[in-house]
Amino acid sequence: MRPQVLTFSLLVTVLAGLLAGAPAVGQSPKAGGVLTVAQREDTPQGFAIHESSTVSTTWPAMPCFSNLVLFHPLKQQESVETVVGELAEKWSWQDSYRSLVFFLRKGVKWHDGQPFTSKDVKYTFDMLREAPDATGKLRINPRKDWYANVQNVEAPDPHTVVFHLKRPQPSLLLMLASGYTPIYAAHVPAAQYRTACVGTGPYKLKEWRKGEFIEYVKNPDYFVKGRPYLDGIKYVVIKERGTRVAALQARQVEVAFPGDTGKTTVEQLKKAVPQLVVTRAAENVNENVIMNTRKPPFDNVKARLAVARAIDRRALNQAVHQGGAAVGVSMPSRPWGVWGLLDKDLATTAGYGKPADEKAAARKLMAELGFGPDKPVKVEIVTRAIAIYVDMASFIINELKQIGVDATLKQIETAQWHAMATRGEYQIGANLTGIGIDDPDANYYENFACGSPRNYTFYCNEQVTAMLDKQSAEIDAKKRLALVWEIQKKLEEEGARPTLTWRVDNFTHWPQVKNLVPHNNFYNYGRMQEVWLDK
């Protein structure tokens, strides 16, 4: 690590007090009580967040862990400005954003009493990026690409960690703040996190009764003094959605599962229990159309563009979400995200104009390819056999029929879905994509970069890849935003993977639950250290 701080260096110091955040206005937090929280399914990979990509894992596992940094628990919109320290007391970008140095808290203990040191951090990130000398190995490593730009991780002393990067990448800090980026204990085998949890987080695992509940108790040795407020948390697994809603209404659980309360559900709940607190927050999950660019007719950009133009996003939002979702392109627009196109730009993007004009343009494109009402192109639209997917796919089929695309629905069981998509055994599909953070690097490298395993469309454009790299390395926030807007427009022009809507949650809890602020990304606000019960 270079000792000097260069021109673009930025020193951010975050005191532990900042993390505590402001309590609910006009009320002093009370300690005690056990919070009951709904859980839609048993956690798929136990507490092994690094081996999972679902909120069903992060939501109940986050209270056990700590990150180096985290998005401020009490701020809904996440951005670089809301990143606060957890295991890192402070951090510093050095060497023109090529090194990120973390200064770790002292005296932090793992739940089993072992001391936390920089070795644990190095162990975690060497394992994640699959470094040749990594001492740990993950069975499944879905976010390896997040760390593709990390050259090496150095632990010069027990309380300092340095990430050396191949090129500047401001987004790295945000990735480290995601709920998907906990620090694992170097002395605990990674596989053990599938059945148990040894973290440094505010709560210690008391019991996981498979298929029933996950119960935590307060960690008395938690490194933030006075936290957590709660004595414990109980995540109650309720598979049936109707029963989950009834449980919330009957106050058997005090907090809904994120993303579970759609517009209609929440309207019914509010009618029955007016005092319920409902906050609209983006999930950072979008609905999109995947078109296999290696198979006709979608190997032709005109066919992809025709599909993109044919689907009336606003009508989809009304029909499927009762107006509860947000319309946008590949990055969510304000107020749900910070990178999305402005309304004026969105209005001029293909697929976002007047529906009749868009459909006419789509028909023209199909006609140029030799297809039309007399000679429709027959395609099979695949989707997961889950209601939210099927609803969207059914709507798309109806829209495509209007431009001479004769689509039939094929439902794929969950066990087969990603294998099918990764192998490209489809022509066109209706898909949902969740993104760990509201950040172009996290989204674009994963879903649009050449060769990414989650780039199901096999869209590959070297020019776009160069644009991705350019924005990724850009340190000036304004310049970077402009570059990201250009990328969004380019992706839409090429029908790379048309986004239809961004899902918006109506996060619901009982009023006695305080300081539980949903973020515009449901993967990142499960830590629960600030939450208290006004009982």
Partner 1 sequence: MKTYIAQRLAIALLTLVGMSIVIFALLRLAPGDIVDVLFSAAGYVNPGEKKAILQELGLDKPYWQQYMDWVRQILVGDLGKSYRYDLPAWQIIKPLVPVTVELAILSTIVAVVLGVPTGVVSAVRQDSALDYVLRVVSLAGLSMPSFWLGMVIILSLVSWLGWIPPLTYVRPTENLWLHTVQFMLPALAVGYRSSALIMRITRSAMLEVLREDYIRTARAKGQGTGAVVWRHALKNAVLPVVTVVGIEFAFLIGGLVVTETVFNLPGVARFLVEAILWRDYPVVQNLVMFIAIVVILSNLVVDLLYGVLDPRVRYA
Indicate the burial class of 54 (C-beta count within 10 angstroms; 0-12, 13-18, 19 or more). middle
Cβ distance to partner 1 smaller for residue 243 or 348: 243
Among 6, 18, 135, 139, binds partner 1 (CB under 8 A): 139
Integer Cα distance of 452 and 273 in angstroms: 46
Decide: is 210 part of the binding site for partner 1 (CB under 8 A): yes
Candidates 134-142, 301-309, 400-408, 499-507; binding stretch for partner 1 (CB under 8 A)? 134-142
Integer Cα distance of 53 and 69 in angstroms: 19
Residues in contact with partner 1, counted by CB under 8 A, come to a total of: 51
Decide: is 385 part of the binding site for partner 1 (CB under 8 A): no
Cβ distance to partner 1 smaller for residue 453 or 511: 453
Decide: is 417 part of the binding site for partner 1 (CB under 8 A): yes
Decide: is 142 part of the binding site for partner 1 (CB under 8 A): yes
Q: Which of residues 272-291 bind partner 1 (CB under 8 A)?
A: 272-273
* Contacts with 315 (C-beta within 8 Å, 6 or more apart), sequence order: 355, 395
Fill in the DSSP letter of residue 3. Answer: S
Decide: is 257 part of the binding site for partner 1 (CB under 8 A): no
Q: Tell me the closest approach of the beta carbon of residue 53 to partner 1, in angstroms.
A: 4
Closest CA to 142 of 424, 471, 399, 523: 523
Decide: is 52 part of the binding site for partner 1 (CB under 8 A): yes
Q: What is the 3-state secondary structure (H, E, C) of 250-281?
A: CCCCCECCCCCCCHHHHHHHHHHCCCCEEEEE
Decide: is 15 part of the binding site for partner 1 (CB under 8 A): no
Decide: is 411 part of the binding site for partner 1 (CB under 8 A): no
Decide: is 261 part of the binding site for partner 1 (CB under 8 A): no
Among 194, 263, 401, 470, binds partner 1 (CB under 8 A): 194
* Phi, psi dihedral angles at 236 (to 5 degrees): -95, 120
Give the 3-state secondary structure of residue 104.
strand
Decide: is 300 part of the binding site for partner 1 (CB under 8 A): no
Among 19, 33, 42, 508, binds partner 1 (CB under 8 A): 42
Cβ distance to partner 1 smaller for residue 141 or 402: 141
Distances (CA, A) of 425 to 12, 326, 416, 485: 47, 30, 11, 31
Decide: is 190 part of the binding site for partner 1 (CB under 8 A): no
Neighbours of 238 (CB within 10 A): 23
Decide: is 211 part of the binding site for partner 1 (CB under 8 A): yes
Integer Cα distance of 104 and 85 in angstroms: 9
**CA 441 to centroid of chain Cα atoms:** 12
Binding site for partner 1 (CB under 8 A): 42, 44-46, 51-54, 56-57, 139-142, 191, 194-195, 209-213, 234, 236-240, 242-243, 246-247, 249-253, 272-273, 413-419, 422-423, 434, 453-454
